[in-house]
Homo-oligomer: A and B are copies of this chain.
Amino acid sequence: MDNSVGTVKPKIMKSNSPLKLISGKELGTVEIVYETYGELNREKSNAILICHALSGNHHAAGYHENDEKPGWWDNMIGPKKPIDTEKFFVVSPNNIGGCHGSTGPKSINPKTNKFFGSDFPIVTVNDWVNSQKILMDCLEIPAWKFVVGGSLGGMQSFQWAIQFPKKIKNAIIIAAAPKLTAQNIAFNEVARQAIMKDPNWKDGKYMEHATAPNQGLALARMLGHITYLSDESMGEKFGRELKKSKLDFNFDVEFQIESYLRYQGEKFAPNFDANTYLLMTKALDYFDPVKDYGDTLFQKIKASNTNFLVLSFTSDWRFPPIRSKEIVRLLMNCKKNISYAEIKSGGGHDAFLMENHDYFEVMSNFLSEN
């Protein structure tokens, strides 16, 4: 654990000020579970916000007690790693609507004293940024030195620059897009239908029935996995390799890829929450700052002093490089200081979570020079 942040304990922030959401609804109280790595300097100028993606959470680095595996971005965050915890104070929250401790569908709805379940209001990227701002204020951080995220996390990073341009010095937007395409929404919709057609869905009140739509959630995860990996990486990893030495000609697993996908689904479902999965996919669908802000978007970004690093991966077909370039073009139109790199990788969309020399070098350079 030489270059690990070591053992970490999540903290919790409670805010009793109501949070007004984009949908028009309101959360009376907000709890955000988060982790921090490194130390805030005296000038409070070295804070980095980590924004997680669809299935992520606050546990980005280091180990919880009894953890076998470290947090989801442990290769990126730690002493002498690109997000260097010897230099930076890293804050990693679980988003509201999540299922790992922050106010979400698994929380008790104070109005009914029952689990929120599907009554939990739809949250958007905009709402997340507002809730992260509450956390920032609570931690007495005047501005983020960097806001960093991949995929849905990259959208939050982008949104920070729009929503609080004076509170973010640098935005790192990895493997993201300025909005989903019809195909992206279509995949999300199939995942949602898989969950909501599960007989244990119970209109989203499954916790009250002490059950969970885990088969639907597993299906959603299986489908998600196909879009996270590239055709290329799946081919290299599994190809047409058989599970046994010969074909059985039945509906059990024949090919290794089937085995892998089933395993991914079955492993994921009991450790996640179906309502959260639905909320996360909706936040993705709704994200569209160009539409939300119209002309004021350009004014807002132009008026900010935020520097941008936009990164994409060659084999990512969920948000391919062409989608990241849409963000770059938008920022260029605002005459912003932008760095863009297209990283060669066979890892597909998940490449943003993988160790990669070029990727880490670009990250290190941007983080140390800005």
B23 touches A185 (CB 8 A): no
Known: A187-B226, A226-B183, A254-B285. A215 touches B197 (CB 8 A): yes
- Specify the chain B residue showing the minimal Cβ separation from A24: B249
- With a cutoff of 8 Å between Cβ atoms, the chain B residues found around residue A342 in the complex are none
B183 touches A231 (CB 8 A): yes
- With a cutoff of 8 Å between Cβ atoms, the chain B residues found around residue A196 in the complex are 251
- Specify the chain B residue showing the minimal Cβ separation from A184: B231
Does more than half of chain A's interface fall in helix, strand or loop, or is it mixed? Answer: helix
- With a cutoff of 8 Å between Cβ atoms, the chain B residues found around residue A118 in the complex are 251
CB distance from A351 to the nearest CB of B (A): 16
Of the candidates A197, A218, A222, A239, the one having the most CB atoms from chain B within 10 angstroms of its own CB is: A197
Tell me the residues in window 186-206 of chain A with beta carbons closer than 8 Å to chain B beta carbons: 186-187, 189-190, 192-194, 196-199
- With a cutoff of 8 Å between Cβ atoms, the chain B residues found around residue A216 in the complex are 197
A181-B231, A190-B219 given. 6 additional CB < 8 A pairs? A179-B240, A182-B255, A185-B240, A185-B257, A192-B251, A251-B278
Q: Please, could you name 12 A-B residue pairs with CB atoms under 8 Å apart, sorted by A? A: A181-B240, A182-B237, A182-B238, A182-B240, A183-B231, A185-B240, A185-B258, A186-B234, A189-B222, A189-B258, A189-B261, A190-B223
